[in-house]
Every structure is written in structure tokens, then in C-alpha cells.
Structure 1
Amino acid sequence: MQVRRARPGDGKGMAAVHVAAWRAAYVGIMTDDRLAGLSERTFAQRWESLVTSPGEARTFVAETDGRITGIATAGPPRHQVRAGELHMLNVHPDAWGTGTGSALLTRCVDELTLLGYDSAYLWVAEANHRAITFYTHHGWTPDGETMDDHRESPPLREHRYVRDL
């Protein structure tokens, strides 16, 4: 398995990971209709657009035997804080427990450090116990901040986790 910067042409593989990860990780957290309605085609277009015009965010893929098995994005914060942000990290369920998520997380933390941040934050769904366990294992701690992601219906309650870099 290797972790590398995402590049044009990765969108389809990234979308497959994104959709599979959400459908496995968000059962009981998001509605069944929302999960069933996830479109690999739509996600592929979004990912391809992001990869070809990345802005300041850094997007990485984990690749195993030529297949994308994980995706992650980190960079400047979307909220008014003085910390880098892990925007997202998803691993295909077939690659859970293989070290793929840890490798992507390490790469993102390293990238945020290179960008000059000395701390970072991320948001995780309140009921996503697998992700919470993963992040706390890697030194992230909740800081008490919460928000509701109104892009989802019903809104998805998220908690902020932080760590020094």
C-alpha cells in the first residue's frame, strides 16, 4: 500500500471508496434513503474537479495493488480557527483494519505540519463510534465544540476533535 497525492483520473476510484465507506460507516446514522441515493458518478465528478483544481487543500489516496482503497483531504481550516483541518478521511470497508486509514492520517498530519500549522482539528459524526475510536487512538481529543451539519436531513450532529502536531 502506498499513499500519494491524488491526480487527474483518480475521481472514479475515489468515488467508489467514498460511497462504499459512507454506506458502511453511516448505517443508522444517516437515513437509508440518503445512503441508497449516494451516486458514484456524482462523487466522481466532484473528486475529479477537486483534483484538477485543488486550491489550498491537499488530497491524498491510498493505493493497494493499483486500486484506490482510501482517500483523505487536509489543509486550511473552513472555520475561523488557527489550526489546520483534516477535512475528511474515508477508507473502503474492504481495507478497514489494514493500516490504510493510519497511513492516510499520518500523511495528512505531516502535510499540515509542512503547511506551518502546529495544531489541527476535525469533525466527526456523533454516532460514528468506529471513527471516534480511530481518531482517539491517534491522539485526537474532543474539545467540547459541536455543530449540526444541515446538509443532511435530519441534520448530522458532529463533534470537533483536536490535536497538537
Structure 2
Amino acid sequence: MARVHVAAWRAAYQGIMTDDRLAGLSERTFAQRWESIVTSPGEVRNFVVERDRQIVAIGSAGPPRQPVPAGEVHMVNVHPDAWGTGAGTAMLERLQDELRTLGYTSAYLWVADGNQRAITFYANRGWSPDGEVMDDERESPPLRELRYVQEL
């Protein structure tokens, strides 16, 4: 999972995050985070897509982090070697199904401003921007994100 996470960020965020930030991403650090998440599951549901016994996509969805009556797709990350293979679509569909199972009739997600590949991916699957913008202060400089929504 960490391998996919780091590779996806390094490829998708080129020109969006600083080169130093991307170079400093650590599979070990991400692996520790994922181990904690998997061994102490909370309300957020986590999934993987496998191809040839290798994880090629990771994703999570669940209750919203904001006070809105919609489920949240917290993350979709696909290893760059699996871009264009349907792994991202399979993951997104699974996450949407999970949100429906949890009783949500609409959903939202955040996508980095400038991540044109992801923006196009979501738009082609019926997601649309609602005009909300957020600066993720966990990144330095802060990462500008756009909110996309969809009825489930």
C-alpha cells in the first residue's frame, strides 16, 4: 500500500508539490501509517485493487470530515504503472458502493488544483466541482484543493 501511495504522489503531484517534498516521501513512513490504519480500523473504510497479486490501487471512503450531509471519498491513489488500466475506475466504483451501503445519497472528494489527470478522471465519471476550495495546511506550501461532488 505504501509503495502505491508514494509512487502515485510522486507522479501525480509533479509540479504541484515541491520536488524536495516529493523526493522526501518515505515508503517506510507511509507503511507505518497504513499499518496503524489497518490494525486499528475506524469508521473510514479502506480498499485495494490487485492485479497479478500486486496492489495497484488504494482508496478509502466513509463519513465526511466536514459538516455536510454527504459521504466522503477520502482518497484514490493508483500506481502510475496501472494508470489507464481501469484500476482507478474499479476503486472509485467500490468506494461509491461503500458509501451507498453506509446510507449516503451523495458524496464529495478533494482533488489537488493542477492535478489535471485526476480532475479529468473524476469529471469523466460524473463528478463536478461545486466551487469550494481548501488549502491543506498539512503541506508546505499549503496544497490548494478543489471539492468535487456527485449524487450516488
2:77 corresponds to: 90
- The answer as to 2:95 corresponding to 1:116 is no
Hey, what's the Cα distance between the residues in 2 that align with 1:56 and 1:87? 12
1:21 corresponds to: 8
- The answer as to 2:117 corresponding to 1:155 is no
SS at match of 1:74: strand
| Shift in Å, 1:52 | 1.2
SS at match of 1:104: helix
Return the match for 1:106 from 69, 75, 93. 93
| Shift in Å, 1:57 | 0.7
Hey, what's the Cα distance between the residues in 2 that align with 1:127 and 1:31? 13
Return the match for 2:113 from 126, 133, 140. 126
Q: Which consecutive unaligned segments of at least 5 residues does structure 1 have? A: 1-13
Hey, what's the Cα distance between the residues in 1 that align with 2:34 and 2:61? 14
- TM-score, normalization by structure 1: 0.91
Question: Which segments of structure 1 move beyond 4 Å, counting only runs of 4 or more?
Answer: none
Q: Paired residues, what number? A: 152
- The answer as to 2:55 corresponding to 1:68 is yes
| Shift in Å, 1:54 | 1.4
Task: Give per-residue Cα distances to partners, 1:100-149, cap 9 Å, x unaligned.
Answer: 00000000000000000000000001100000000000100000000100
Hey, what's the Cα distance between the residues in 2 that align with 1:52 and 1:115? 21
Return the match for 1:48 from 23, 32, 35. 35
2:126 corresponds to: 139
Hey, what's the Cα distance between the residues in 1 that align with 2:61 and 2:104? 11
Return the match for 1:79 from 35, 46, 66. 66
The residue type equivalent to 1:99 in the other structure is G
Hey, what's the Cα distance between the residues in 1 that align with 2:113 and 2:16? 9
- TM-score, normalization by structure 2: 0.99
| Shift in Å, 1:48 | 1.1
Hey, what's the Cα distance between the residues in 2 that align with 1:55 and 1:152? 24
Hey, what's the Cα distance between the residues in 2 that align with 1:163 and 1:89? 15
| Shift in Å, 1:164 | 0.2
Q: Which consecutive unaligned segments of at least 5 residues does structure 2 have? A: none
RMSD: 0.5
User: Percent identity of the aligned residues?
Assistant: 74
| Shift in Å, 1:82 | 0.6
